[in-house]
Amino acid sequence: MNRKVLLKNTLLMIALLALGFVSVDSQTTYAATNRVYPTACKKTKAGFIKPSIISRWHEECRLPVVHMGTDIGIPKKTPLYAVCTGKVVSQKYGNNGGYQMTISCDDDQTSAFYAHMFERTSLKQGDKVLAGQKIGISGDTGTAKGIPHLHFGRMKKDTNGDLQYFNPEPELKEWKCKG
């Protein structure tokens, strides 16, 4: 990502935070027993190996950017899975995130956000998904050109019904690999 785009994105997120359109709650994590890791994992004789995290939640990365999620380094066209049972609330193309999808989880007030997908999937807004269901494949769309990965974000609704982002890494460590 070039510096100009990075600066523009950072300023936009700071403005949205200042205006109260989004808020950040990095202290909160949500455990759910039936969650599935969002990407395919490498199967070995000893078990599964999860892909490397290449960019962290904004408070843990050293870049001057508000990064509302975790980037998981995976090759292009790696299967992506629904982390929870729920419904697709958004599926679109955005300049920064490329092909992206948001799933609202049925069992709590959280949502999962996937960005830089390879292509638009056949799933549409309102479609029901099951935890572990393949929802698409990874890519390098949007600002990820040449660096294939999944940008994975987590959000929850606060008492006003507004979405707050939270750090997904503690959950990612706990969730099981599909297989």
Within a domain: residue 66?
yes
Tell whether the model's pLDDT for residue 123 goes beyond 70.
yes
Locate all alpha helices (DSSP H) within 93-135, ordered by sequence.
Answer: none
Kindly state whether residue 107 falls inside one of the protein's structural domains. yes
* 109 to 18, 29, 44, 61, 165: CA distances (angstroms): 23, 12, 35, 27, 12
pLDDT digits (tens, 9 = 90+) for 59-99: 544 444 567 888 898 999 999 999 999 999 999 999 889 99
Looking at 30-39, 105-114, 117-126, which range is the least confident one? 30-39
pLDDT grade for 176, boundaries at 50, 70 and 90: confident
Query: Could you tell me if residue 128 is inside a domain?
Result: yes
- pTM of the complete model: 0.75
DSSP H helical segments within the chain, as ranges? 3-19, 169-174
167 occurs within a structural domain = yes
Tell me the three state secondary structure of residue 4.
helix
Residue carrying structure tokens 């999860």: 50
* Residue 101 to residue 85: CA distance in whole angstroms: 14
Range among 26-35, 48-57, 126-135, 169-178 rated most confident: 126-135
Gap between the Cα atoms of 174 and 156, Å rounded: 18
* Owning domain of residue 36: 3-174
Which domain CATH number covers 14? 2.70.70.10
Domain count, the chain: 1
Whether 179 is covered by a domain: the verdict is no
Distance, CA of 50 to CA of 57 (rounded, Å) = 18
DSSP state of 49: E
* pLDDT confidence of residue 66: 65
